[in-house]
Structure 1
Amino acid sequence: MNEPEPVSDGRAEVRIVAASPDAARQVAEILRHCFAATEQRSYPAGSDGGTRLHLTVDTTHVAEPARAWLDTSQASGQDRTQTDEV
């Protein structure tokens, strides 16, 4: 499987997988309160009726409390790719 191309500097692709569309939308809404974001795109997730939601966030345009968290956080240096990620 091909690795996705990285997005431009300051942007991050976010994938949300939830049991219901409402749960996925709630998480996306919280992200939008902290970061500038594109419109979400949703897809079915598996045969159990789940939802997979994709959006791009712009980390160069952050609001509080995300700014404080970004300023103090550090990368772990570990690759956290899940086995079921696409």
Structure 2
Amino acid sequence: MDHEPLPSAGHAEVRIVAATPEVARRVAEVLRRCFSSTEQRSYPAGDEGATRLHLTIDTTNAAEPARTWLATSQSSFEDHQQADEV
């Protein structure tokens, strides 16, 4: 199994998969309102018209309400990992 390098401290790699590019862009826009981020990269996602967007967000520069949520969140990665995630 290939392992991607981890993002630098305070950053997260986000992948959005949606049936249409417009839906993926809407989700990315919400993330950009809460966090500083890189320019999104768009790829086809297999099904006709589906889109996969990748972006890197900077959690050290979070806006409200993300800042409040990050400060109070105590969940661990292992508690929320989905069965289909690697």
SS in 1 for 2:42: strand
Correspondence for 2:75: 75
Q: 5 Å matches for 1:1-86?
A: 1-76=1-76, 77-78=78-79, 80-83=81-84
What code does the residue aligned with 2:39 have? Answer: E
Distance 1:73 1:7 in 2: 20
Distance 1:58 1:66 in 2: 11
Offset, 1:58: 0.2
Offset, 1:21: 0.3
Higher percent of residues as helix: 2
Q: Deviations over 1:9-49 (max 9, x none)?
A: 00000000000000000000000000000000000001332
Root mean square deviation of aligned Cα: 1.6
What code does the residue aligned with 2:61 have? Answer: H
- Contiguous gaps of at least 5 residues in structure 1: none
